Amino acid sequence: MFYKNNMAKILLLGSGELGKEFVIAAQRIGQTIIAVDSYENAPAMQVAHASEVINMLDGSELDRIVAKHQPDFIVPEIEAIRTERFYDYEQQGITVVPSAKAANFTMNRKAIRDLAAKELGLKTANYRYATSAEELQKAVAEVGIPCVVKPLMSSSGKGQSTIKSEEDIAKAWNYAVEGSRGDVVEVIVEAFVKFNSEITLLTITQNNNPTLFCAPIGHRQERGDYQESWQPAHVSQKDIQEAQEMARKVTEALGGAGLFGVEFFLTDEGVYFSELSPRPHDTGMVTLAGTQNFNEFELHLRAVLSLPISEITLEKAGASAVILASENSNNPTFTGIENVASLPKTDFRIFGKPTSRPYRRMGVVLTSDSLETPIEAIVERAKKTATLVTVNS
């Protein structure tokens, strides 16, 4: 059943570009959004009904704004939140999206990796944890070089690096600590998986309706952050079935309704589970190009509100490519947007972030074409188009 009176008050915790698109989707069907972040004028705040600026790692501050706004739903959009408070909010009758358990497990790489590998038996890279530079040295010796080091809590590749020699270990530890979000000083060390490609499988869990999957999304990363994504990705039927089964197992274990971005490595030995986000995924911004009948933000919202989703159809092929800043600025501006606007089958989003820094994602270019068009050509067009825009300090 659709949410009571067709109206809901949603507290959005994290107000970046993904949250902004979620707010827009919610506004279109009459829902009320309060956007929260640690700084003023964050992208989602610019389109929300109201906003709050707090430190979301402060449990008392979280309690204060929940009591103040009395939301029907709490929708986390970032990792750095005092997520253990979510269990109390559920006890108060507030729906945490997708669930308090899902938010707690997936905001910390240790919990979600142990759930996937140890409890559910999913195939993952060999991994260890470390809470100091000395422990990292030992962990690297156990998993082998090359390996990947990530903070347990981070996003958009912050703090992630690849160790290619023993000389990289100390530097990797310092970089991970600097890039960590929250107050957990611990890293995960993963053996390097020799993969042929990476995909995101957008997985939609529903209340009293079957789990649905979007067409697989391919993506390329640099510095641990995506640079281009495309849909559909080339995936064999065997691999897609294996990925769907893994995604179904882990989302069922986490519970709740909403969209999950589940990442996989595709290798000669099969599919490896990589990571999971309990919310719209950055690589899924390609769905803003109209590749599906509903974009990922609309799907997340509809699942949250128990609006039945009968099917997800692939309408056309598309690609996204990021627009990155190269300098620090407190007043970033853009040139070249008119060049993008003049191109056919092309669109763009400027996120409205009030400041920039090197490699910060400031916008995205979107391209699309018929399903008969080679996806490689669409991706190349997106990459070239993104270079037409310059972020100025």
Name the residues annotated as catalytic: 155, 157, 263, 275, 282-283, 361
- The rounded distance, in Å, linking the Cα atoms of 153 and 105 is 11
Element housing 213 (H / E): strand 209-213
Closest listed residue to residue 11, CA positions, set 60, 68, 55:
68
Return the structure tokens found at 273.
Answer: 């589970």
Closest listed residue to residue 307, CA positions, set 259, 262, 247:
259
| SS3 category, 45 | helix
Task: For the chain, count helices (H), then strands (E).
Answer: 11, 20
- The rounded distance, in Å, linking the Cα atoms of 245 and 312 is 18
Question: Which amino acid type is present at position 7?
Answer: M
User: Is residue 276 a contact partner of residue 354, using CB atoms and an 8 Å limit?
Assistant: no
- The rounded distance, in Å, linking the Cα atoms of 40 and 338 is 29
User: Is residue 51 a contact partner of residue 36, using CB atoms and an 8 Å limit?
Assistant: yes
Return the structure tokens found at 154.
Answer: 């981070």
User: Is residue 33 a contact partner of residue 72, using CB atoms and an 8 Å limit?
Assistant: no
- String of b and e for 107-128 (b: at least 16 CB within 10 Å)? bbbbebbbbbbeeeebbbbebb
